Chain A
Amino acid sequence: MSEKVVIRPYEVVGSPLCVASEDGERVYALVRTALKEGRKVDLSFENVSILTSAFLNSAVGQLYREFSEKAIRDSLSVTEMSQEDADLLKRVVETAKSYFKDPDWLRRAHQEVLGEDDEQ
């Protein structure tokens, strides 16, 4: 059985401040690649001091776009996270599940990519 891949946001971001959405994207890209390879992932938040919903939405929330709840539950674990940050992550996860359950999200996402939202 293959060993769990450990991804450390501290190392990926290069800072204890995991706040920016674009930094979350970097973490997401690594987690996504590992999950697509069928690997189990441990997201270790050791030494992270500040976390925001913006970062977690990017790093974790958007996984629900591509992977089923079961696949994520079976393959992704979180360690070294404070209780309050775990509460925040839980809230982010619940929001992400609802967001991607809305059948209209894909159409809206396409609109945004095509820039139709920005028309006057």
Chain B
Amino acid sequence: MVFPLGKTRSDCSGFDQLTRLAKSLELVSFDKVDIDMSGCTWFDANMAAPLGALLYRASHQLNNVRILGASHRLENILRKNEFLLNYGRLPLTDSNVTTIPYRRFEPTDGRYFISYISKYLQGRGMPKMSAGLHKKFLESVYEMFNNAVIHSGTTLGIYSCGQYYPNVHRLDFSIGDLGMGIRESLRRKKQLELAADEAIRWAFTGTNTTRTGLIPGGLGLKLLADFTTKNGGRIQIVSDRGYWELQGGSVRSSLFDLPFPGTVVNIELNTADTKSYRLSSESNLGDIF
């Protein structure tokens, strides 16, 4: 099969296109899968994470996956972030050092994941963030990794990729998995039947959590929402048919026609932010418990 991949930004239409790719690939095995990028005039580099997840699944179904027709400029971007190394290309040095390379992790790779983020955030071309912002960003992306580990039940891994855009002081970082998605997790663990966008909204509300085990949880997404709002950044979540976006304190959500087979979180960080990052309370160490 041939799938023509057009302009792919971190937005509703970019993800919508990936849901259509997911559907096309769903039942294909022992076949040729050609991703035709000849009509792709722009590809947000962080979107390599959800695209990589879908193509990994296609390879796992023993298809022969090829990426064809990308412009020289696009090839360079996707070689610099090492995405195309999975599809027969050679690496290209990221001389500007603005890339957090594409990687696939197993759920047990938590330490490796945090080392990877720490390492690439310190690159020469990476933003000079305040210590507080740097710490909050690391914590937030790890919370997202941990959410994928705990809630998705993925057996095919966790995918991440990031790109810094120095001219606009933005760092986009995406984490995707091929797990059950938030709607299904809610259905199984809380017996709640919600539409996919409503399920994402539920996960961000109050102390809601699908956690049912011996360890409490349910803070990761709320901390991320608090942080992103204060930072002036953006969160996008795609899970099943749901699209949910938080920016400037406002939420926008919608339903795709087709599901994404897992969950993707994209965090867009405002790197020019110099605020201090303390939660609203000021806890006294003698009065924690």
Contact = CB atoms under 8 A, between A and B. Distances in A.
Given A19-B114, A54-B143, A95-B219, A62 B279 contact: no
B288 A22 contact: no
Contacts of B114: 17, 19-20, 50
B212 A112 contact: yes
A62 B217 contact: no
B283 A52 contact: no
A52 B117 CA distance: 15
Interface in A66-81: 69, 72-73, 76-79, 81
Interface residues of B, number: 42
A52 B136 CA distance: 9
B275 to A, nearest CB: 12
Given A20-B111, A84-B279, A118-B188, A109 B216 contact: no
Contact of B216 (A50, A57, A73, A112): A57
A61 B281 contact: no
A93 B284 CA distance: 13
Given A50-B135, A88-B279, A79 B111 contact: no
Contacts of B36: none
A57 B110 contact: no
B118 interface: yes
B27 interface: no
Contacts of A92: 216, 219
Interface string A13-36: 001010111110000000000000
B110 A22 contact: yes
Contacts of A61: 215-216
B219 A87 contact: no
Contacts of B282: 83, 87
A25 B161 CA distance: 28
Contact of B278 (A21, A54, A87, A118): A87
Contacts of A11: none
A95 B288 contact: no
A95 B153 CA distance: 23
A4 interface: no
B109 to A, nearest CB: 10
A105 B210 CA distance: 11
B14 interface: no
Most interface-central of A54, A78, A105 (chain B CB within 10 A): A54
Contacts of A84: 132, 277-279
B142 to A, nearest CB: 5
B220 interface: yes
Contact of A73 (B220, B279, B289): B289
A89 B139 contact: no
Contacts of B214: 62, 65, 109
B218 interface: yes
Given A17-B118, A52-B142, A87 B212 contact: no
Most interface-central of B143, B281, B289 (chain A CB within 10 A): B289
Nearest to A64: B216
Given A89-B283, A93-B288, A109-B212, A54 B220 contact: yes
A100 interface: yes
Contacts of A52: 139, 142-143, 146, 220
A6 interface: no
Interface of B: 110-111, 114-115, 118, 132, 135, 138-139, 142-143, 146, 149-150, 153, 188-189, 207, 209, 211-220, 223, 277-286, 288-289
26 contacts: A17-B114, A19-B114, A19-B146, A50-B114, A50-B142, A61-B216, A62-B214, A83-B282, A84-B132, A84-B279, A86-B285, A89-B288, A91-B219, A91-B279, A91-B281, A95-B218, A96-B216, A99-B207, A99-B216, A100-B216, A105-B212, A108-B189, A112-B213, A117-B188, A118-B153, A119-B188
